[in-house]
Amino acid sequence: MERVDISILGRDYSLACEPEEKADLVAATAHVAQLAGRIQGSSKISGNERIAVMVAIQLASELLGMKVADHGAGGTGGMAVGEFKRKIDYMNGLIDGALQQQ
């Protein structure tokens, strides 16, 4: 394991990761630090806890807006992750309903 030291909103954190994961972890923490700084600087939100919640919401929004890779026939058609998740949840609900009727 490698140790990665980062700073977000003036607070230092020490994280551990596998060597091959270090670059991704550094990039992810830099993205979080950038979002936190932007939220802190451009809004009336104060307190690191509230800023952290806003960062989490922003990251979730980014994730759900990402497109699912389309790999040809039977693929997803480049559907957004959030829409893909909603469709899967809907299908699971239909399956659960059908199983309960059995």
Q: Note the pLDDT tens digit of each residue in 30-45.
A: 999 999 999 998 878 8
- pLDDT tens figures, 61-90: 888 777 766 555 555 666 777 777 777 788
Query: Of 81, 28, 33, whose CA–CA distance to 55 is shortest?
Result: 33
Cα(87)–Cα(5) distance, integer angstroms: 40
Q: By the 8 A CB rule, do 2 and 18 touch?
A: yes
- On whether the CB atoms of residues 54 and 39 are closer than 8 A, the answer is yes
Distance (Å) of CA 68 to CA 10, 28, 53, 64, 91: 35, 20, 25, 10, 18
Task: Give the percent of the chain with pLDDT over 70.
Answer: 88
